[in-house]
Structure 1
Amino acid sequence: MSSQLIQSLLNESNDVCVSLYMPMVRWGREVRQNEIRFKNLLKDTEQLLDKDEVATSESRQGVLAQLQNFINEPDHDAWKHPHSGLALFVTPDSLEVHSMNYTCEEQAHVGERFYLRPLLPTLHGDGSFVVLTISQKHVRLFEGNRDGLEERFPEDLPESLKEALNIDDYMTSIQHFSYAAGNQVDTMYHGHGAGEDDHKANILQFFHRIDAPLSEYLEGREDPLIFAGVEYLFPIFKEATSYKQLLPDPIEGNFDETSAEELHKKALEVVEPYFRQEITEAIENYNDAHGRNCATDDLETILQAAQMGAVDTLLIREKTPIWGHLDEEGHVQQDKAPSEGSLDLLDEAAVETLDKGGDVFVVRDEDFPSEKSSAVAKLRFAIEATTP
């Protein structure tokens, strides 16, 4: 998923927009729960459509027919290869299915636009990343998130240098190549002069053979790529790869026999600072703007400013909806629980901000810059300009 998807959903115009989100079981016998959970969501959707004053009988039938067709399609990739979460966006005329690399709460929404709050983490990285482990004997590709790693097997990705270059006697071209298993550091003794140059040239060619299928597999994605291999190989791989999101810090060592669990721990140490960097800068910018009277943590002011296009950056607390509505005078009235006519006011603030060209960050509870509020905003101009 990406910001382009969110923008396309924002631009969708229909009287009846249905948004469904559910966590998925990814493996084991419990995978059967996915279909059961979806059927429960389908029942919830029927009830919401029955209550919706805008939904006609025809539009109701159109939405339900598309959802029924989806559940009756067992070969759909969403069922065969489940991710951590699933999102569906349905109108009487269209159905979009998107796998999510992070878990989400099971929920159904019906309205005049799609409910986008659970997608907002994708604006600045959804916690998904890719790990490529490389030695001259073995190539492995993993996709992961904060929950774990899974090995993938892209078509045409070579499994080793020997396979990539069709060299049967390659190892005789260097004097010695061995693995120090104790500290997982390769020790390599090269030939001198031309021999060493030939060795590097062969590895560079090897990495070019890896880059083509890897780039095809990752086409259109912005997930950070982590290189895992011996120190000697990383500079050569950087020279060969065309993927723009390669992280500058590799995981050093040999990982031919490393489990996905062990590799996941090492990968998180590298990727977590990357994911936190943008959010940390956004929080610092908000704190700086607060000192210049160009920031607010008042929800009503945030909503007014967002509608005016005055919000530069909106920070919202993770997994904390605020249900409510606006009264006739435009003031916020919070509801104790979701009810007919209730809106997730943080979703409203985010949509208005994005629609007017602002930016939105989802921040973990422990990092949120305000104790009393679940939304704060850095404004494009002083607070007084947003209040009556």
Structure 2
Amino acid sequence: MFTRTDLDMLLAHDEAPALTFTLPTHTAGREVRQDPVRLRNLAGDALGQLTNRGMRRPDAERLLEPVTALLRDDEFWRHQDRSLAVFVAEGVSRVFRVPLELEERVVVGQGFDVLPLLPLLAEDAPFLVLTVSAGDARLHQASRFDLREVEDAPIPRGVSQISAETDYQNTLHANPAVRHAGRRDVAVGAAKTHNFGETPEEQRKAQLVEYLHRVAAGVDEYMGSNRVALVLAAQPEVRGNLLALGRFQHHPVVELDVNPDALEGPDLQRRAYEAVRPLLSRERDEKIEHFKSLFNDASPKSTGKLEGAIKAACYAQVDTLLVRRGARMWGRYDQDNDQVIVHGDAREGDEDLVGRAAKETLRHGGRVFFVDDDHFRSGQVVGAILRFEQPKP
């Protein structure tokens, strides 16, 4: 899962050369064999760019060694998602399997090209799905595109696990060797037995509450301080008891009223994403409306020009950057002369200016959201909400 921590690490590296490889991959079938071949071709392209820029070939090959190692790893290619993103620089090597359809390309520049992965932290952000019934509890990592169970989640797998502990305690308490070992042992055993209830119904309820306590504690442990949305898929009794425990206060929770034992794979992913989507897109929609209000009023706290957005972002002025989905503009930003030069096609030494605006916004604590075409005017590729008024030229 690509997280904000991963993004911050990539943004912290702002030196050249930094290499970003992206390519669509396959999860199964004969096409899987094509994926390493295509990465090898991209690595060859990167080698050519590096040597053309004056790097000695042995040094370029050494820089590309993490990519070469992936090409030799047959097991790695058997476990892919929809795309692969590889980031390589001096002292840096990060690989991400991505549930997005990414463009096949290599970018050699100053700092990494993080723009393709940003949708994973916006309305397509990852979230968690917790399915709980008396019979089972499972935690899943999910997104708009996929759903995968967290195999090592620290949660019990059903109330039967608690029942087994109760049965063990009852057997232990019935053992004469234990029962007559001393009054203190009898008192402790009696207290434990009483905690699970005197009657079968009391015992069932007590075991259910204990089970849900452990589920909640395990999910809290797994989530930690990562403020990620959680979809709680359960029937009313289980859901109500779990939420009443007071856990998950620091995480947005969306309830899904289903019998989780009757949902699997794609159905669960689809239902969970439909439930959480308004929460994931709410902030973006609010920012779009705010930008439109400022821009339509010609407010100096907004700009709809790429040149203005880049300059503002580099000087930590951008609070929110709205990016037209799929937009790329090639050129250069001469920061010494505060001049933006835009080209129609990529030329030697160019960078993606939309990506530059996004990176600078993120580096200075701003937010970036991807926006559909109908929210922009013709020819507009970005919209920026500024932290303070931009001086007029």
C-alpha deviations, 1:23-42, integer Å up to 9, x for none?
23234454333323322322
Residue 307 of structure 1: CA displacement? 2.5
- Distance in 2 separating the partners of 1:116 and 1:255: 36
CA contact (8 A) 1:162 1:168 kept: no
- Distance in 2 separating the partners of 1:342 and 1:92: 21
In structure 1, the residue matched to 2:18 is: 17
In structure 1, the residue matched to 2:373 is: 365
In structure 1, the residue matched to 2:312 is: 305
TM-score scaled by structure 2? 0.80
Q: SS at 2:236's partner residue?
A: coil
- Distance in 2 separating the partners of 1:218 and 1:82: 24
C-alpha deviations, 1:259-310, integer Å up to 9, x for none?
3222223112211101111101211221233323321101112222222322
Q: SS at 1:324's partner residue?
A: strand
Q: Which letter maps to 1:73?
A: D
1:92 to 90, 93, 97: 90
Structure 1 spans left out of the alignment, 5+ residues: 170-192
Q: Which letter maps to 2:305?
A: D
- Distance in 1 separating the partners of 2:166 and 2:202: 19
- Distance in 1 separating the partners of 2:101 and 2:259: 31
In structure 2, the residue matched to 1:3 is: 4
In structure 1, the residue matched to 2:59 is: 59
CA contact (8 A) 1:19 1:90 kept: yes
Cα 1:220–1:30, aligned 2, differ >3 Å: closer, same or farther?
farther
C-alpha deviations, 1:307-349, integer Å up to 9, x for none?
2322221111121111223479654443222222222111111
C-alpha deviations, 1:87-145, integer Å up to 9, x for none?
22112333122333433222211112211211322443543222222211233443332
In structure 1, the residue matched to 2:344 is: 336
CA contact (8 A) 1:303 1:349 kept: yes
Structure 1, 223-232 or 151-160: larger mean CA deviation: 151-160
Cα 1:225–1:36, aligned 2, differ >3 Å: closer, same or farther?
farther
Q: Which letter maps to 1:317?
A: R
Structure 1 residue 269 and structure 2 residue 274: aligned?
A: yes
Number of residue pairs matched by the alignment: 361
Q: SS at 1:137's partner residue?
A: coil
Larger radius of gyration: 2
Cα 1:332–1:286, aligned 2, differ >3 Å: closer, same or farther?
same
C-alpha deviations, 1:184-210, integer Å up to 9, x for none?
xxxxxxxxx987665443222112333
CA contact (8 A) 1:101 1:126 kept: no
Residue 10 of structure 1: CA displacement? 2.2
Structure 1, 349-358 or 263-272: larger mean CA deviation: 349-358
Cα RMSD of the aligned pairs, angstroms, is 3.1
CA contact (8 A) 1:208 1:241 kept: no
Q: Which letter maps to 1:43?
A: G
Structure 1 residue 353 and structure 2 residue 358: aligned?
A: no
CA contact (8 A) 2:109 2:351 kept: no
- Distance in 2 separating the partners of 1:274 and 1:9: 27
Identity %: 28
Q: Which letter maps to 2:290?
A: N
C-alpha deviations, 1:216-240, integer Å up to 9, x for none?
5555754422111111111222245
Q: Which letter maps to 1:20?
A: F
TM-score scaled by structure 1? 0.81
Residue 241 of structure 1: CA displacement? 7.6
CA contact (8 A) 1:211 1:241 kept: no
- Distance in 1 separating the partners of 2:94 and 2:385: 33
In structure 2, the residue matched to 1:252 is: 257
In structure 2, the residue matched to 1:180 is: none
TM alignment of 1:111-150, pairs within 5 A: 111-124=109-122, 126-150=124-148
Structure 2 spans left out of the alignment, 5+ residues: 168-197
Structure 1, 124-133 or 274-283: larger mean CA deviation: 124-133
- Distance in 2 separating the partners of 1:305 and 1:155: 43
C-alpha deviations, 1:136-193, integer Å up to 9, x for none?
1233443332223344533664332113441698xxxxxxxxxxxxxxxxxxxxxxx9
2:161 to 160, 163, 170: 163
2:327 to 306, 320, 325: 320
CA contact (8 A) 2:123 2:277 kept: no
In structure 2, the residue matched to 1:378 is: 385
C-alpha deviations, 1:41-64, integer Å up to 9, x for none?
2222222223334x3435312212
Cα 1:38–1:214, aligned 2, differ >3 Å: closer, same or farther?
farther
